[in-house]
Amino acid sequence: MDIFFSDLDNTLIYSHNRKMLCEKTAVEYLNGREQSYMTCMTYNFLRNAEWLNLVPVTARTEEQYRRINCADELNIKYAVICNGGKLLVNGNEDEKWTAETLELVSEQLGEFEKAVDFFGKICGKSKIHKPEPYMAYAVSENAGELCRKLRKRIESENVRVENDRRKVYIFTAAVNKGNAVKRFKKIVNAGKTVAAGDDIMDIPMLNGVSVALASNRIFDKINVTEKQQLCGEIISDLICGSLEDMHNSGILK
C-alpha cells in the first residue's frame, strides 16, 4: 500500500486570510463562516485520484480537524492528528493508537506539566489551550520571539517547543510527525511513501519517507535522497503535479 502523507495548513489548505488569486473552494467553516480553502485544482485532483492513499498528518486538534468538511469527497480513510498523538479511522478514534501514545509519553508528562506551567506564566494561563495531555498551545502575535524564549527555558529531551506562524506549541518529545509516520507504516505495511510539508514541524515526517516534497522554507533540512523543492506561497498545486508525475511513471500506484 503506497501512502501519501501530507500536512494540511499551508500545504494543502489555506486560511481565509491568505490572498489567493486562483479559483478556490471552501473546505472548512467556523461558526458558519468560510475558514479555509483549497485551490480548485488541488481539490479536483485529490477527489479524482482514486489510486492515491492520502493520509493527513496535522497538528490540528480533533475539534479543529473535524471542521474540515471534505474528508469523504477526498476518500480520506486515515487521519493522524494532534501532531501524531491520535489516529482517526473513518472518522473514529483508534483507541489502541491513543493508548500507545499515552504509554510513549508517560515518563515525559511530569516535565511537560512544568513546561506548561511556565508557558502560562509568560502568556497568561487563560490563553493556554491544552486539548490533550501531551500538547498545549497559545496564539501570539510575537510567536517567533515567544518560541525562542520558551526553547531557552523549557526545551529538553522530553519537551519540544514549536511555532507555526501565530501559534506556539509545546509537545512531549515522543509526539511528533516523524514518530507518527513510523508507527503508521507498521500498521498498514506501507510500500512507497511520499510526504509533503511546509513547516519545521513537518521535517521529521519528511525525513521518514521515500520521497519528500518540501517547501523552500525547509528544503535544506530534508536529508532523504529523493526530494523535491516547492517554491512559492501556494504549493498545493505543485504537490499534485508531482504526485501525478510519480503515478504516471509507476512510482506511486
Q: What is the pLDDT of residue 100?
A: 98
- The reply to whether domains 3-85+175-248 and 105-172 share a CATH topology is no
What value does the mean pLDDT take over residues 4-17?
95
Q: How far apart are CA 131 and CA 137, in angstroms?
A: 9
Give CA angle at 136 (203, 132), nearest 5°.
100
Q: What is the pLDDT of residue 20?
A: 83
What value does the mean pLDDT take over residues 127-142?
94
How many residues in the chain? 253
What value does the mean pLDDT take over residues 192-207?
96
184 pLDDT band, cuts 50/70/90, is very high
67 pLDDT band, cuts 50/70/90, is very high
88 pLDDT band, cuts 50/70/90, is very high
Amino acid at 12: L
Q: How far apart are CA 95 and CA 75, in angstroms?
A: 22
Q: How many other C-beta atoms are found inside a 10 Å radius of the C-beta of residue 156?
A: 14
Q: What is the pLDDT of residue 18?
A: 82
Domain ranges of the chain: 3-85+175-248, 105-172
What value does the mean pLDDT take over residues 102-107?
98
Checking DSSP bridges between strand 3-6 and strand 54-56, what pairing results, if any?
parallel
What value does the mean pLDDT take over residues 47-65?
97
Using the predicted structure, report yes or no on whether residue 229 has a pLDDT greater than 90.
yes
Using the predicted structure, report yes or no on whether residue 150 has a pLDDT greater than 90.
yes
- Looking at per-residue pLDDT, the higher value among 165 and 110 belongs to 110
Q: What is the pLDDT of residue 155?
A: 94
Considering the segment(s) 105-172 as one domain, its CATH architecture is: 2-Layer Sandwich (3.30)
Q: How far apart are CA 114 and CA 118, in angstroms?
A: 6
pLDDT in tens, 12-32: 999 988 888 889 999 999 998
What value does the mean pLDDT take over residues 244-248?
96
Distances (CA, A) of 251 to 177, 230, 245: 23, 19, 9
Share of the chain above pLDDT 90, in %: 87
- Cα–chain-centroid distance for residue 202? 7
Is this prediction's pTM over 0.85? Answer: yes
Residue with cell 477527489: 47
- Cα–chain-centroid distance for residue 127? 22
Task: Determine the topology of domain 3-85+175-248 in CATH.
Answer: Rossmann fold (3.40.50)
Distances (CA, A) of 93 to 64, 72, 89, 99, 188: 14, 16, 6, 11, 16
What value does the mean pLDDT take over residues 86-106?
98
Find out whether 30 and 226 touch, Cβ atoms under 8 Å. no
What value does the mean pLDDT take over residues 58-73?
95
